[in-house]
Amino acid sequence: MQRNAYLVGVAGGSGSGKTSLVRALRESLPSEMVCMVSQDDYYHPKELQAVDQNDRINFDLPTAVDMDGLARDLRILLAGEPIFRKEYTFNQDGREGRTIELRPAPIVLVEGLFVLHHAPVRDLFDLRVFIDASEDAQLERRLRRDSEERGYGAEDVLYQWEHHVLPAYRSFLLPYRHLCDLHVVNELGFTRAVRVLRDHLLQAATKVATPVQGL
- The answer to whether the beta carbons of residues 70 and 39 sit under 8 Å apart is yes
How far from each other are the two terminal CA atoms of the chain, in whole angstroms?
A: 22
pTM score = 0.88
Sign of CA pseudo-dihedral 158, 160, 165, 171: positive
- d(CA 57, CA 9) in angstroms, rounded, equals 27
Superfamily of domain 6-205: P-loop containing nucleotide triphosphate hydrolases (3.40.50.300)
Residue 160 contacts by C-beta under 8 Å, 6 or more apart in sequence?
56, 59, 60
Give the domain ranges of the chain.
Answer: 6-205
Per-residue pLDDT 10s for the chain (215 aa) are 567 899 999 999 999 999 999 999 999 999 899 999 999 999 998 899 999 999 999 999 999 999 999 999 999 999 999 999 888 766 555 566 688 899 999 999 999 999 999 999 999 999 999 999 999 999 999 898 887 777 788 899 999 999 999 999 999 999 999 999 999 999 989 999 999 999 999 999 988 854 444 43
